[in-house]
Structure 1
Amino acid sequence: METLGYLAGILTTIAFVPQVLQIYKTKSAKDVSLAMFLIFTTGVFMWLVYGIKANAFPVIAANAFTLILSLVILFFKFKYRKTSH
């Protein structure tokens, strides 16, 4: 069962890598919804806290990496705001 947790965590985490690369490459995050990513990032942070409290390493690992990627996307959203039309 833990293998399933790791696999799910890996897949849901790496799903954000193409988005980060696309934003970096185009220097535009205009199509990224700020509200959705703020809500999502808050949820990921809460899952990370839950994983820490539950001592569930797959939850901790997946959400720690997802949180980093999500924060990078939010950073780009603000950084490239002026170039987004």
Structure 2
Amino acid sequence: METVIGTIAGALTSISMLPQLIKVIKEKEVQPLSPTMIIVLMAGVALWVVYGIMKSEWPIIISNSFSFLVNGLLLIYYYILKE
């Protein structure tokens, strides 16, 4: 049961920034974004990936790796589209 709850929690938090990424891609507008917040969030999820690896916890590794990817793309779009 713990693995199921952890997997669901990880999936939900991982996809939480996906709507923002989609909105940025569609609207090509990044002014409301804070690159500092994205960088801090990426540092946090990167540490979660390391922690997951240390504990051999695949739900932690996979969900936070996906989150890192989404936030990394968001940061890339921020720097490409900022005026």
Same fold flag (TM > 0.5): yes
Aligned: 1:71 with 2:78: no
In proportion to residue count, which structure has more helix? 2
Residue identity matched to 1:74: L
Equivalent pairs counted in the alignment come to 82
CA distance in 2, matches of 1:19, 1:47: 21
Residue identity matched to 2:52: G
Give unmatched runs, 5+ long, in structure 1.
Answer: none
For each residue in 1:8-36, what CA deviation from the matched residue of structure 2 results, as whole angstroms up to 9, or x when unmatched? 01111111111110000111111111111
Runs of 4+ in 1 over 3 A off after TM superposition: none
For each residue in 1:15-58, what CA deviation from the matched residue of structure 2 results, as whole angstroms up to 9, or x when unmatched? 11111100001111111111111111111111111111110111
CA RMSD of aligned residues (A): 0.7
CA distance in 1, matches of 2:40, 2:65: 16
Aligned residue runs from structure 1 range 1-85, under 5 A: 1-82=2-83
What TM-score, normalized to structure 2? 0.95
Residue identity matched to 1:3: V
